[in-house]
Amino acid sequence: MAEDRAAARPQPALQMADAMLAWYDQHHRALPWRMTPAEQRDGVRPDPYRVWLSEIMLQQTTVQAVKTYFAAFTDRWPTVCDLAAASEEDVLKAWAGLGYYSRARNLKRCADIIVRDHHGRFPGTVEGLRALPGIGDYTAAAIAAIAFDRQAAVVDGNVERVVSRLYAIDTPLPAAKREIRARTEAVTPATRPGDFAQAMMDLGATLCTPRRPSCILCPLRTHCAALTDHDPERFPVKAAKKEKPLRSAAAFVAVDARSRILLRRRPPSGLLASMSEVPTSPFTARSDGETGCGAAPFRAEWQPAGQIRHVFTHFELALTVYRADVGTMSAPDGHWWSPSTDIRSEALPTVFRKVISAALPDTF
Ligand code: SF4
């Protein structure tokens, strides 16, 4: 079947796949969740658990930032069974700072299902992977190709850029996604599809960069329509972005006589569900008084400590930060005092780390 597909594949597609694999053998990035081409030739297969974990972490986050979290997770939970045995709270705490906390919750749910329903082994097909929580089309294809050598088209942001340039695709994103996927499918080889997928990712990350791509070094330069037109940076064409609405609120950093910070848990559903926070007024507050001290959870000598901005998927948030030294006080219901030695291990999303840093600059 794979041979039929290869026979039907136009010659340039075969040439492109060969060029990419040869380039990858020489220039692949060494990443902690990868097996090198040489290791794979020796019969060592990538661990699906590590591939899955890295792909979930890499969504919207840089490789550099992920390396630290990946090392911490795999030290603490070396297998999917270990992760399934962890509490959701511990997983959320370890995830704190990576953003998109629903991913951490899905990570835990997915590990539970793998252990409960799949005897601790990841399904080896795109369809089987796609049925698991937190695994969408891209991640299913990436795990299937990289960990199980399935001939799946893997299209992330880097690959979108490379392919839109290779074929000078004028349709703006996101409408161009269908064509980009079809083009990627057409060049994905039956042999070493996982290495091919990683080669395309690496090409986008290292040579086919958003600005000033290094076309002179590119293994695909003789196939590239955008280079022929002398204008690679024009691609991918993007639809004009809608401006995000701005919301305002106030955040209150209370510090007691032992330098502990008052925290509470966010509601179990909605934005940043079940994460820790300092007391904060609702994010829907307008900027006509509800962002002032009047929104504080209790009376104290609240002092302005600056403003921070944070961009969420659907809106931008401006938080006015207040700080008060409250001396000796018991924590109100549902709150707790977090010592400065523990604050880094609290499940605090980035937005609240920024808030605490505004009030107490040396905390993180
Ligand atoms: S030739 Fe340049 S623009 Fe085309 S794929 Fe290679 S690096 Fe990207």
Residue-wise pLDDT tens digits, 70-88: 999 999 999 999 999 999 9
Q: How far is the CA of 162 from the centre of ligand 1 (A)?
A: 7
> Closest residue (by CA) to atom 2 of ligand 1?
215
Q: Among 227, 230, 231, 237, name the best residue to mutate to test ligand 1's pocket (greatest count of ligand atoms within 8 A of Cβ).
A: 227
Residue 60 in tokens:
């919207």
Q: Are strands 316-327 and 246-256 parallel, antiparallel or unpaired?
A: parallel
pTM: 0.77
- Residues 201, 265, single domain; the answer is no
Q: Are strands 303-311 and 316-327 parallel, antiparallel or unpaired?
A: antiparallel
- Residues 229, 288, single domain; the answer is no
Q: Among 167, 207, 216, name the best residue to mutate to test ligand 1's pocket (greatest count of ligand atoms within 8 A of Cβ).
A: 207
* Domain presence at residue 240: no
Q: How far is the CA of 46 from the centre of ligand 1 (A)?
A: 28
Decide whether any atom of ligand 1 lies within 6 Å of the 58 Cβ.
no
- Residues 86, 145, single domain; the answer is yes
* Domain presence at residue 364: no
* Domain presence at residue 269: yes
The CA-atom distances, in angstroms, between 271 and each of 100, 182, 284, 316, 354 are 9, 35, 12, 13, 17
Residue 313 makes CB contacts below 8 A (sequence gap 6+) with none
Of the residues 201, 234, 267, which one is the last residue of a structural domain? Answer: 234
Predicted confidence at residue 10, as pLDDT, reads 65
User: Could you say which DSSP state residue 222 is in?
Assistant: G
Predicted confidence at residue 286, as pLDDT, reads 67
- Residues 307, 170, single domain; the answer is no
What is the Cα–Cα distance from 360 to 197, expressed in whole angstroms? 44
User: Could you say which DSSP state residue 134 is in?
Assistant: T
Residue 23 in tokens:
């380039």
- Residues 39, 97, single domain; the answer is yes
Of the residues 214, 234, 254, which one is the last residue of a structural domain? Answer: 234
- Residues 48, 157, single domain; the answer is yes
- Residues 271, 293, single domain; the answer is yes
Domain of residue 270: give its range.
Answer: 246-359
Given a cut of 70, the residues of the chain with pLDDT beneath it are 1-10, 285-290
Decide whether any atom of ligand 1 lies within 6 Å of the 215 Cβ.
yes
Predicted confidence at residue 230, as pLDDT, reads 87
Number of domains in the chain: 2
Predicted confidence at residue 9, as pLDDT, reads 61
Decide whether any atom of ligand 1 lies within 6 Å of the 255 Cβ.
no
Predicted confidence at residue 155, as pLDDT, reads 96
- Residues 124, 158, single domain; the answer is yes
Of the residues 234, 268, 296, which one is the last residue of a structural domain? Answer: 234
Q: Has 179 been annotated as catalytic? A: no
* Domain presence at residue 241: no
- Residues 12, 144, single domain; the answer is yes
- Residues 140, 258, single domain; the answer is no
Decide whether any atom of ligand 1 lies within 6 Å of the 227 Cβ.
yes
DSSP three-state, residue 321: strand
CATH code of the domain in which 211 resides: 1.10.340.30
Q: How far is the CA of 204 from the centre of ligand 1 (A)?
A: 9
Predicted confidence at residue 313, as pLDDT, reads 84
Residue 12 in tokens:
């340039």
* Domain presence at residue 146: yes
